[in-house]
Amino acid sequence: MDFSDPLPLIERPDTIPTYEIEPESQYRWSLKTYGYLLIATTWILFIVSINSFFRIWSFIIYPWSLNPSTQELHAYLTVVFEQIDNLIVSGWCIYVMLWWWSLVSWCSLKLFRHSKGLQA
């Protein structure tokens, strides 16, 4: 074939290959399930973290310290919630903040890399 000759036409095939796709309702079900799971996990993390940071639990169990029959339960719950606070604040929240820091750093690096403009 010479460079001056036109390119040959590409013929269209008679049949187009198709792929079997799962029904869309199955995708919706799994996405819906993951969405609800993500929302529930986010709310539980938020509620436990806020309770740990501001010690809201102490205001909730305080009335039990006033009744002599429930003072032992109040003392037990105070110890339990203080242990949970130490675990949440020292472990879990630092872990979550490290992930946020990693995510923001990664996005910033991507943005910086793509903000150079077109270069040859």
Q: Answer whether residue 4 is part of any domain.
A: no
Q: Answer whether residue 95 is part of any domain.
A: yes
Q: Answer whether residue 29 is part of any domain.
A: yes
* Residue of 10, 98, 88 lying closest to 45 (CA atoms): 88
Contacts of 84 (CB under 8 A, 6+ apart): 48, 52
Percentage of residues in the chain having pLDDT higher than 90: 14
Q: Answer whether residue 73 is part of any domain.
A: yes
Provide the domain count of the chain: 1
pTM (two decimals): 0.47
Radius of gyration of the chain (CA): 30
* Residue of 36, 40, 50, 35 lying closest to 92 (CA atoms): 50
Q: What is the pLDDT of residue 47?
A: 86
Q: Answer whether residue 2 is part of any domain.
A: no
Q: Answer whether residue 15 is part of any domain.
A: no
Q: Answer whether residue 67 is part of any domain.
A: yes
Q: What is the pLDDT of residue 30?
A: 77
Q: Answer whether residue 19 is part of any domain.
A: no
Domain that holds residue 82: 25-114
Distance separating alpha carbons of residues 20 and 23, to the nearest angstrom: 9
59-103 pLDDT, tens digit each: 988 998 999 999 999 999 999 988 888 887 777 777 778 888 888
Distance separating alpha carbons of residues 87 and 67, to the nearest angstrom: 29
Q: What is the pLDDT of residue 68?
A: 92
